[in-house]
Amino acid sequence: MATQTKTPSATRDSSESLEFCLRLNRAYATLTRRLDNALSSLHGLSFSDFMILYYLDRAPESRLRRIDLAERLGVTASGVTRSLLPLEKLCLVARQPDPRDARVGYASLTESGQQLLKYALVSVEPIAQEAVQLVPAEQIGALSALLGQLAGINLSNS
């Protein structure tokens, strides 16, 4: 039985790839924790709640099919349904059925949700600016596009 030996460059490439993934995950966890802390203490929202409000606000008519919202959040359809329930109880989002297809449901941002999002954006913007302060301004767009590609995001679902 022949054993495969890895070349030093293959090992290095694999290690660099893994190190990149580990650092990306740690950066995500650190940033999410900071955003969670600011949002919860000032607005009673989690960062996940904020993302729901944010994506709904950016959508046409401030509404999305639940499955499209799940895709943007990177969760399952049932996961987004569980996340929406507390926001619905707080009247930040509302359920809207599709009049043509009973199987399709929409989540829409309410006026209260828009107002809370407006205040929350003021709180998270400084954290976002601090997070990218070491990135040259002309590289932020390219880096954002790269992260979008890693997440499987295209212009239609960002």
Please check whether residue 55 lies inside any domain of the structure. yes
Q: What share of the chain is helix, strand, coil (3-state, %, to 5)?
A: 70, 10, 20
pLDDT of residue 153: 66
Please check whether residue 108 lies inside any domain of the structure. yes
| Run of H or E residues at 105 | strand 105-109
Number of DSSP helices (H) and strands (E) in the chain, helices first: 6, 3
Tally of domains within the chain: 1
What are the pLDDT tens digits along the chain (158 aa)? 555 555 555 555 678 889 988 999 999 999 999 999 999 999 999 999 999 999 999 999 999 999 999 999 989 989 999 999 999 999 999 999 888 887 788 999 999 999 999 999 999 999 999 999 988 989 999 988 888 888 876 545 55
Please check whether residue 8 lies inside any domain of the structure. no
Please check whether residue 154 lies inside any domain of the structure. no
Helices within 44-105 (DSSP H only): 47-58, 66-73, 77-89
What range does the domain containing 32 cover?
A: 13-132+140-146
Please check whether residue 44 lies inside any domain of the structure. yes
Please check whether residue 157 lies inside any domain of the structure. no
pLDDT tens-digit readout, 31-59: 999 999 999 999 999 999 999 999 999 99
pLDDT of residue 125: 96
Please check whether residue 71 lies inside any domain of the structure. yes
Average pLDDT of every residue of the chain: 88
Phi and psi of 104, rounded to 5°? -100, 130
> Has this prediction a pTM greater than 0.75?
yes
Q: What is the CATH number of the domain that holds 40?
A: 1.10.10.10
